[in-house]
Amino acid sequence: MIIDEYKKPQTIEEAYSILTTKKNSQIIGGGAYLRLSKKHISSAIDLSNLKLDFISETDDYIEIGAMTTLRELEINEITKKYFNGIISNSIRNIVGVQLRNIATTGGAISGKFGFSDLITALSVLDCKVILYKAGAVKLVDFINQKYNDIVEKIIIRKNNQIADFQAIRNTKTDYAILNVAVSKHTNNSYKIAVGARPGIAIFAVKAEGFLKTVDSSKENAEKAGLIASQEIKFTSNFRASAEYRQELCKVLVSRAICNINK
């Protein structure tokens, strides 16, 4: 990676101006993955002076600043308290503490990595990304569209969802071969996200629809896992084959549903 100039703006307005006026400029989060790239960056923009490192809650939302590290997200009492601790649980095995002390929430979301455990977990919650210019954007829209903007924070509605996260890794601190997140709402509707396929998380819509029409038995959880494994496309890479991921999907989806309905 080559950086021509390193900028540390004092305001988000200044950061946005650099981003939109300097060709090939780049927001720097923790830089954990960016530094491995071969990019030529004209202006690297460091947001560490903008007070975006925070986790707080209001009556209705949890708010997480873009510069909050994954480690803080993992150990913070607010994120551990809600949704069965799915946020904390989803990131506690990402590589090691050293990396989680560097990588930021904003970087993890903006990177849109196919192996992302955090994106999979957040996908099943009522989560929005707050951008400096575009404002509040649903996470799924942020993932699927390109924004030349700055992530200020993410917000998650506190709506009494029950949730669970599951993943399989070759070793404890490796990236997931497959990850799954499931949430259940008070109206008995479910959200099921499957990631590291090895693509980014997508929803198992048919499995969600099936669960809404049946009771919460183990048998139906297993049927939902089968449906999810058949509707989602998997591919092979050096970590696992598509066929193996499909088999894992059956088990992980079923396991997450059973955990929610205990």
Separation between Cα atoms, residue 247 and residue 262, nearest integer Å? 23
Separation between Cα atoms, residue 5 and residue 3, nearest integer Å? 6
**Which SS3 state, helix, strand or coil, does residue 249 take?**
helix
- Give the predicted TM-score (pTM) of the model: 0.94
Q: Find the radius of gyration of the CA atoms of the chain.
A: 19
Instruction: Label residue 37 by pLDDT band (50, 70, 90).
Output: confident
Domains along the chain with CATH numbers: 2-46 (no CATH), 55-157 (3.30.465.10), 162-260 (3.30.390.50)
Residue 204 near residue 140 (C-beta atoms within 8 A): no
Q: What is the pLDDT of residues 183-229, one digit of tens each?
A: 999 888 999 999 999 999 999 999 999 999 999 999 999 999 999 99
pLDDT of 47 > 80? The answer is yes
Listed in order, strand segments (DSSP E) in 66-145 are 127-131, 135-138
